[in-house]
Structure formats: structure tokens, C-alpha cells
Amino acid sequence: MKNDVVYVQILGRQYAMEANPGDELYVNRLAQYVEECMIKIKGESKTVDTMNLAVTAAMNLADELFRLQDGRGTLGHSLETKADELLVLLDNALAAPDTHS
């Protein structure tokens, strides 16, 4: 299946992006998010160089992604630990002699 070309605008410039068929709205949402990040950085730093804004936004987005991935890893480890604890409790309960008979 051939990818579609979606045109998005970021800070007044148009970019052609490849997208899977049906992902046009998603690609536009991504572009909007990138633009919002760049506008925020521009307001905070007074930087007008588009390349500098883009690189700073990319670094911020990469940081955001890494922090989310690290958080997910920590959560996954915590869930595994709890599952192991529950399995031990279940094994102990099943191994205990039935005193109610």
C-alpha cells in the first residue's frame, strides 16, 4: 500500500509528510503539537531562528518521550513485582491444609 502525502503547516511554512492511508488527521495533530512546542520555546527564549527552534523542540519532545518510556518501565517493573507477590500468596494459600473440613 502506498503512503499518502499530507501537507502540514508549522510556523507558517508548509511541509509535505508521508502518512499511512487514513492517518491524515493524526499527522495534522502531530504537526499542531510540534508547532505549539515551537511557539512556547519562541516565547520563552525570544529565539527567532527557525532551525534553532526546531532543534530545541525536538530535544524537548525527545526528553518527554524518554521520560514517558522510563515511567512505563518503572510501572511495568512494579506490576511484575506485585504479580509475583500475589502468586506467592496464592501458592501458599493453595498449599495450606484445609482446616475447615
Q: Residue 45 half-sphere exposure, CB side, CA atoms within 13 Å?
A: 15
Question: Whole-model pTM?
Answer: 0.67
User: Which pLDDT score, from 0 to 100, does residue 97 have?
Assistant: 72
pLDDT at 41 over 70: yes
In the DSSP assignment, the letter for residue 12 is: T
pLDDT at 38 over 80: yes
8 sits in the region (left: phi over 0; alpha: psi -120 to 50; else beta) called: beta
Q: Do the Cβ atoms of 37 and 60 come closer than 8 Å?
A: yes
pLDDT at 7 over 90: yes
pLDDT at 32 over 60: yes
User: Which pLDDT score, from 0 to 100, does residue 100 have?
Assistant: 61
